[in-house]
Amino acid sequence: MTLAFVTGIAGSDLLPEERAFVRDAAPWGLILFRRNVVSTEQLKRLTADFRDAVGWNAPVLVDQEGGRVQRLTAPNWPKYPSGLRIAAAARLAGDETLIADVAQVMAEDMRLAGITIDCAPCLDLYIPGATIAIGDRCYSGDPQVVAAAGRQMANGLLAGGILPVIKHLPGHGRAMVDSHHELPVVNESLDLLAASDFAPFVALADLPAAMTAHLIYKAVDPDRPATQSPIVIGEIIRGLIGFEGLLFSDDLSMNALKGTLGERARATIAAGCDMALHCNGLMDEMRQVAAEAPELSGKSLERANKALNSVPAPSHMDREAVLARLAAALAVHDGAASI
């Protein structure tokens, strides 16, 4: 039996207590952060240990966007640019496949370390004045540019054998406060949101996996954040946007959510998320989430299996040539920005 949650762990090795927890609680997957990452060889050992403990070839997730959100980074991996910077550089250089090709290089980094899922691309809109928690993680403030860049990123990850997770449905760009610390409230009308923030997600609704946002959308549900709102998930994410794939929550330990970790997990699954995500590696919280996570079954199990089965065998690419193109595009972009 597998439960409908993804867990974090405390450090770079699976501790005996964590091994016992993983064996008994049977999470669907593991998510990694900087505290878990040392090198490719260390990650290969860690991910293999996790899979041995859980008893199957379970998914391993990471947030590897580039820019500020890059868990695999220097000195053992390249430092990749943020979404905003690479999208602008690709446009300026006239390199129409740069984002996809760089994403495939990133996928190779992850795949060789035993990682199978990347929580990217970020399809939120760049909104001047909004919280920097999103900021340059966005590709643009133009929904069409975001959709095109996000499609490239997703396609590149898939070409490299990694499952992409689009985020943060139905749009985190207008948050004025950081949802890691408090609950953002978006006051714009449904018509405006549908024409702008939701549009990139509509364009990529065919992709197999996505992640929710911890925001209140007053025009849709003034009382509950999207992650815990059956109205937002049912009427907007599954309805208006048309996303039918595997739906993860954002991290349940973020302070935008209230209540115990068990209460957060229960509300999240009840609202319609397929998978509860808990990231900080604190054992007491992990146990609370596991106690409330249901068995992965029914439609959620179908979505999870379909998502995993959607990833093709990785295709060949010239890694050094791609990185050289990236460096050239960034040099042009950064030179123009300094003028």
10-63 tens-digit pLDDT: 999 999 999 999 999 999 999 999 999 999 999 999 999 999 999 999 999 999
Entry pTM: 0.97
pLDDT digits 0-9 by tens, 107-130: 999 999 999 999 999 999 999 989
pLDDT digits 0-9 by tens, 170-184: 999 998 898 999 999
- Helix, strand, coil % over all residues of the chain, rounded to 5: 45, 15, 40
Least confident of 151-165, 169-183, 291-305: 169-183
Return the bridge partners of 30, or none: 7, 60
Mean pLDDT over all residues of the chain? 97
Rounded CA-CA distance 69/80 in Å is: 10
CA angle (214, 247, 125) in 5-degree steps: 50
pLDDT at 339 exceeding the cut of 80? no
pLDDT digits 0-9 by tens, 213-269: 999 999 999 999 999 999 999 999 999 999 999 999 999 999 999 999 999 999 999
**Higher pLDDT among residues 334 and 300, named by residue:** 300
**Mean of pLDDT values over 133-149:** 97
pLDDT at 338 exceeding the cut of 70? no
Strand 216-217, strand 275-277: pairing = unpaired
Write down the pLDDT at residue 151. Answer: 98
Write down the pLDDT at residue 288. Answer: 98
Catalytic residue among 13, 142, 178, 180: 180
pLDDT at 336 exceeding the cut of 90? no
**Residue 214 among the catalytic residues:** no
- Only one residue has tokens 């093709």, namely 312
Write down the pLDDT at residue 334. Answer: 87
Cβ contact 51:21 at 8 Å: no
**Residue 180 among the catalytic residues:** yes
Domains in the chain, CATH or no CATH each: 61-278+292-338 (3.20.20.300)
Write down the pLDDT at residue 91. Answer: 96
Burial 203-212 (b: 16+ CB within 10 A, else e): bbbebbbbbb
Catalytic residue among 197, 250, 251, 274: 250
Write down the pLDDT at residue 53. Answer: 98
pLDDT digits 0-9 by tens, 265-296: 999 999 999 999 999 999 999 999 999 999 99
